[in-house]
Structure 1
Amino acid sequence: MTYPTLNERLKGSAGYQLWESTLAEQCGAFHPEPPLNEGIESFEGTIMPAQMTIPGYAGAKIGTNCPHIHRDIKDIKRDGHDFFYLVHQVAGNSTMVHCENQSTLNPGDLVLLDSSRPSDFYFSGMSEQISLVIPRHRIEVKGKGQKLKLNNKINATSRTGVVAGLITHQFFERSDEDKELEALMDALISLIRPSVASSENAPLSYSAKVQQTYFEKALHYIDARLANFELNPDMIAGELGTSKRTLQRIFAQQGLSIGRYILDRRLDRCASEFESETDIQKISAVAFAWGFNDVSHFSRAFKTRFGVSPRCFRSKGNPHGEH
């Protein structure tokens, strides 16, 4: 596909179709609504894909006069993407409605959004944004008592906002140095993480302490038995001496589902093994070793979580590929 450049202003229905398809390819499925006054023929927009060669990452610099762009449950299910968007407002203003929060972005502001949750973008006149796609595992907060603050504005005038904004523009400059781009992305993620992670330090009630104890025991039990493909919520609840419903409620209070947590932990272990292994094993052998009994399901789940296939992920550190 031949992509437009940022200087190429796309107009009318033909321009809208190219703009929308490029947006979908780079950032996932969205529903842009053309200006209401003259419909699709009054559309104007610009879009330029990021110069990303890092597996799992993507993005675009997007300009549009569309007043409303949204992503709903059907879009999420259709494209199957599971990552975070880091949105940097470059010009104009926008209002984000996401995760029951609303934020208004002025030029230079940034915000983190979750692709697996619905989003509504509202614009007034022409607006330009940078949207970077970042694999979920790079952003997720692992610390105890911490949760992500989604749709929480990083102000343009803050030190983090100033530096993060400068870095986002670097992904649209041509570079043949993969290591340089990867270092920039590592720096950007490290920079924004304190701004998107919240610590919950309020004293816990007795009931909350009991639930936290159950939760930590469940995590320990799961990690110790990831290789067992029969591991399931009933087994975990039985070991902890509680009901499956209670266990599901405890995980839900942490913003997790048991099945999803087990899947993600298995995928993380496989990815870690692909990165550190010295004796190259078949991808199927690694999958089976960590509790998967269906290689096709494993491959689809791995690509959803990390943005690339297991083969591509591993070949990054193994130039000889599959054996």
Structure 2
Amino acid sequence: MLGEATITVEDGDLAGVTGLVWKHENLSLATVYLPKTPLRLTAHGIGRPDIAMLRATDGTLIVHHRKHTFELEPRDVIILPTDMASEIILPEGGRLDCAHLPHAALTLARKSIDRILLRPFSAECLPLQLLTHYAGYLLQQDHQDKEHATMMVAHFYSLLPVLARYGNEVAPSAVPQNRIEAIKAMVEENLADGAFSIADVARTEGITPRAIQKLFSRTGTTFSRYVLERRLVLAKSLILAENTATPISQIVYSVGFNDLSYFNRTFRSRYGIRPTDLRRMTAPDEAKNL
């Protein structure tokens, strides 16, 4: 469904994995019961503009696709093109559901599909609930005649324009630009606070942490990733400042990091150089000779 894939399990193995599969020429469905341990699935894509719908039911689902990152709550759904590679992370492992819609079957629904690609949908979305109920019904049917199966697939596809309309209706209110900007401003004000968390933002804004995650997901990142990036940028600017007398460890704690080794790892991963080496390279000659 997603092309050749590699699954990496953090603790344990894939022995005992079970699942359900249902196939029709215009729709394929699968439910895989994976170990309940953190795992990562790297899918290489199939080189065609088919569509995949993904959801995890036992925990959050994190998807990296192109330059986008999506973090979904249990049973939320993301719709992805399958022509390129994707990285799928299940921090808690567990059940993963997938639907594959081939390009040839999408001709009539192409405009609707284009409007919902790379869009996360809440499990509370009614059109989505109808789609998943149809999928669940089909997966549990061992013996179906072709006419019955074709009719059910047609119903499945008829709901895609409804899902697209739902997405258009909720988009303006679901992602208010002033709210995301207000949250980003709050992040800037609290970068030095190592205890600052999404719960603090939720209390101030009067919304749930899940709603905040959805806001950041639609901008192509996550709340924690955004905060980390801002702290790294601030730390780098302070390290490069003229006053080289300030110890790097002091800078690290002043921008909200609570763990020096974690900072060093993430800084090197982000910028390709250790903080101490960066300072040494940019320090005045007299400082280098001390």
TM-score normalized with structure 1 length: 0.44
TM-score normalized with structure 2 length: 0.48
Structure number with larger C-alpha Rg? 2
